[in-house]
Copies of this chain bind each other. A is one copy, B any other.
Amino acid sequence: MVDTRFFRSAGSLRLSEIAALTGASIAADGTRVFSGVAPLDRAGAVDVSFLDNVKYVEAFVASKAGACFVRQKYAGRAPQGMALLITEEPYYAYALAAQRFYPELPLAAGISPQAVIAGSAAVGKGCRIDAGAAIGEHVTIGKDVHIGANTVIGDGVEIGDGCRIGALCSISHAILGKRVLLHRGIHIGQDGFGFAASKKGAVKVPQLGRVLIGEDVEIGSGTCIDRGAGPDTVIGNGCKIDNLVQIGHNVQLGLGVIIAAQCGIAGSTRIGDGAMLGGQAGISGHVQIGAGAKLAAQVGVMTDIPPGATYGGSPAVPARDWHRQTLALAKLAGKKEE
């Protein structure tokens, strides 16, 4: 069901293989063969689908998918003939199956004659550098790295093995760990917004730090990460950052922080391991977000947040208080006091 101009299945799998790969349990015939994945409303007899959100139960009931990852509690509503892959993590199981059907293609190594690479740059084995890429002096690029078209890498930058840098990115003053995935139009390492207010107006403060990006980090298109002012800006291993996010100078993200699109994190703020930020969240400078904290979309944070807490609203309050305030205000206004 995929568009073969853009994707190609690596081949068929038996139901029993899919179950073994994903840890799902099956009651149906394990020898049935499937050729790919598809969403519930588009899947056919040879496709595997998934149900992970109660909003799509009707689509599940009506689906023509040959097989489906599903929680036990919905199994009874499956259409006749659908082979059920029972799991309490259907989206995760689907991800594993989809990765197997459509594995990332191996990198076609080669350096475009239209790339411009400084003589002192070191490029590892198996790299692919596309047309128009500009690589500065003393840049170090590891093995099996892809540098997309028209991307610009500044002097001295280090890029670890297996990184995938999309088109039209700029990177300077930065050290990237292994397997970092940058989508497109990402700008890393520019000056932070550092001005000293004085009687003579705003004076520029030299930005003398770097951006340090860990391993297995993924960053979305259009996102900007400023370099440190003196300390470094640090993105921990396994962080996942969506599109159009702003990360100010000296920000430190712990391990596995998840940041949705259009969030803004002001300078010198620290975010603990595993914290999650909803879309368009804004966090002031110089605050600390505890490990595992969850911040709602459009939250406005101006103070420290304890570990594991869930906050919402602007200014941010604990989620329970936020919902209570929303209800109280609706009730107050409902009195039609105006």
Chain B residues within an 8 Å CB radius of A302: 297
Q: Please state if A198 and B92 are interface contacts (CB–CB under 8 Å).
A: yes
Q: Please state if A242 and B193 are interface contacts (CB–CB under 8 Å).
A: yes
Q: Say yes or no: A183-B173 contact (C-beta < 8 A), given A240-B202, A243-B246, A266-B279.
A: no
Q: A96: CB under 8 A from chain B? A: yes
- Count of A interface residues, CB-CB < 8 Å: 114
How many copies of this chain?
A: 3
Q: Provide the A146-162 mask, 1 if CB < 8 A to any CB of B, else 0.
A: 00111010011000000
For A113, give the chain B residue with the smallest CB separation.
B116
Q: A128: CB under 8 A from chain B? A: no
Q: A73: CB under 8 A from chain B? A: no
In the bound complex, how far is the Cα of B199 from the Cα of A272, in angstroms?
Answer: 18
Q: A12: CB under 8 A from chain B? A: no
Chain B residues within an 8 Å CB radius of A99: 204, 206
Q: Say yes or no: A150-B152 contact (C-beta < 8 A), given A190-B220, A208-B102.
A: yes
Of A13-21, A26-34, A75-83, A222-230, the segment with at least 4 beta carbons within 8 Å of chain B is: A222-230
Chain B residues within an 8 Å CB radius of A337: 328, 331
Chain B residues within an 8 Å CB radius of A258: 195, 202
A2, A210, A231, A338: residue with the most chain B Cβ atoms closer than 10 Å? A338
In the bound complex, how far is the Cα of B156 from the Cα of A58, in angstroms?
Answer: 34
Q: A71: CB under 8 A from chain B? A: no
For A315, give the chain B residue with the smallest CB separation.
B326
Q: Please state if A300 and B297 are interface contacts (CB–CB under 8 Å).
A: yes
Chain B residues within an 8 Å CB radius of A330: 317, 321, 325
In the bound complex, how far is the Cα of B98 from the Cα of A91, in angstroms?
Answer: 51
For A256, give the chain B residue with the smallest CB separation.
B201
In the bound complex, how far is the Cα of B250 from the Cα of A53, in angstroms?
Answer: 15
Tell me the chain A residues, 257-288 only, with Cβ under 8 Å from chain B. Answer: 258, 260-262, 264, 266, 279-280, 282, 284, 286
In the bound complex, how far is the Cα of B260 from the Cα of A177, in angstroms?
Answer: 29
Chain B residues within an 8 Å CB radius of A231: 39, 41-42
**How far does the Cβ of A187 sit from chain B's closest Cβ, in whole Å?**
4
Interchain residue pairs with CB less than 8 A apart (25) = A6-B155, A6-B173, A53-B286, A95-B196, A95-B204, A95-B205, A95-B206, A98-B205, A98-B206, A130-B134, A149-B152, A150-B168, A152-B168, A167-B170, A170-B185, A185-B187, A193-B243, A201-B256, A202-B240, A204-B218, A222-B222, A298-B300, A315-B326, A321-B330, A325-B329
